[in-house]
Structure 1
């Protein structure tokens, strides 16, 4: 197994007193759409050919993204256009307010990103909105421009989970992170919060306990799957579930938690 981790600007030691861990997905959670959609808009004719569209295979999203980036390079799309497209993606509703709340409560929350996007997209967008320093770590697929100006995307790691894409199991990453931080801090987090939207956000939340909270985006796949799980197998899903449509939904929950002493 191999790992790629992007450490944040803040040392984990800075957050040693934080009581809570807040984890974010990126596509359609922090940003209002999939970052791949932004890439298609900068392709010639704002579309990709059918052979490329049809090359997608379930569980191989990373490989499909690699092909899209390779196609853009072949069509002469430069780094500046990619950066501008990512910077122009709007935040999800209320997301900036949520990040502002967390910034004002950094003594309580350690924040990290856990995403199947890539380092270039996430770092670029967070810096654009001025919130990069809020995140102690970013777990995502590595991406960098090669000498030919192509954005090269790699898988995050190899794993044995049969439920997740081949390039990333968020539960493996989360369990490893929680164990490492508990060792570094000398104690576990009091509570863990996970905000997401997609089917691949289910697996990491299965590592959470009853004291923790999952924030699925309302009426998105993560929310619907959780509802189905709770109906089919009551009690199997452990964390508290708080659906969100706006960042204020999450803020209202976190405010109550912070006030609990």
Structure 2
């Protein structure tokens, strides 16, 4: 009877694995916010826009970048067509395809400082949007003039993170909401696998449990920060390609 109950519990998704992905330099092998500059005729920004960046206020800066792109009369389709050419990181498309084929056992979210339009376009162009259950990022839209606008994801009081996004807050809220569940019952993930590359991925790594895994990209900021950070309880497993992440996911599914 115990094993029957365990099987029923698993079949209802109560023991799923949660994959959490950053996007830039993780799912894709570049920065979507800088890739968009390629839609400009000369592929460069004027100094007045370049020099307007303030540390910790990247999304505000991107608002000015997108405003400039709109003023150059680049159409929404022109922006989208350029964004759809950004390359995926090696092995990442296969990884997301595997996840899409195992949704009964794996949930997947993206937490990124990019924006909703860029991420949706890029995933849809490769037929991979179905792998991702939720995208948490900065909302973006085209205004009445056909110019793209972006705003911050949320407000928070974390001193580690940029003013528009604390990935730890996003992850903790998501886990809490999933645990609440509603009429179908909650989901308590037996393992969370967090995949990222940058400094803003350290904060969410600090809320992971001992049974979870944080996967920093080899040679990037997160890997270097994890070497000196003493507050991480999760196991650290560095990666260079999506194939290594897939191997880690399969091992977690079998354990």
Task: Give the TM-score taking structure 1 as reference length.
Answer: 0.89
Deviation at 1:52, TM superposition (A): 1.3
Aligned to 1:143: 140
Aligned to 2:224: 224
Please state whether the residue corresponding to 2:42 is helix, strand or coil. Answer: helix
The 2-side partners of 1:18 and 1:144 are apart by 36
Please state whether the residue corresponding to 1:218 is helix, strand or coil. Answer: coil
The 8 Å contact of residues 21 and 27 in structure 2, kept in 1 or not, is answered as: yes
Aligned to 1:133: 130
Aligned to 1:196: 196
Deviation at 1:55, TM superposition (A): 1.2
Deviation at 1:186, TM superposition (A): 2.7
The 8 Å contact of residues 18 and 107 in structure 1, kept in 2 or not, is answered as: no
Deviation at 1:177, TM superposition (A): 0.6
Please state whether the residue corresponding to 1:46 is helix, strand or coil. Answer: coil
The 8 Å contact of residues 14 and 188 in structure 2, kept in 1 or not, is answered as: no
- 1:251 matched to 2:243? The reply is no
Q: How does 1:80-119 map to 2 (within 5 A)?
A: 80-119=77-116
The 8 Å contact of residues 14 and 186 in structure 2, kept in 1 or not, is answered as: no
Deviation at 1:56, TM superposition (A): 1.2
Which 5+ residue runs of structure 2 have no aligned equivalent?
A: 1-10
The 1-side partners of 2:90 and 2:49 are apart by 31
Aligned to 1:68: 65
The 8 Å contact of residues 215 and 236 in structure 2, kept in 1 or not, is answered as: yes
Query: CA-atom RMSD, angstroms?
Result: 1.4
The 8 Å contact of residues 60 and 166 in structure 1, kept in 2 or not, is answered as: yes
- 1:181 matched to 2:174? The reply is no
Q: How does 1:9-48 map to 2 (within 5 A)?
A: 16-17=13-14, 19-48=16-45
Task: Give the TM-score taking structure 2 as reference length.
Answer: 0.91
Any idea what the Cα deviations from partners look like across 1:33-85, whole Å, max 9, x if unmatched? 00122111222311111221121111101011111000101111111111011
Which 5+ residue runs of structure 1 have no aligned equivalent?
A: 1-13
Any idea what the Cα deviations from partners look like across 1:4-34, whole Å, max 9, x if unmatched? xxxxxxxxxx984451111111111111100
Which one has a bigger Cα radius of gyration? 2
CA gap 1:121/1:15 in 2 versus in 1, 3 angstroms? farther
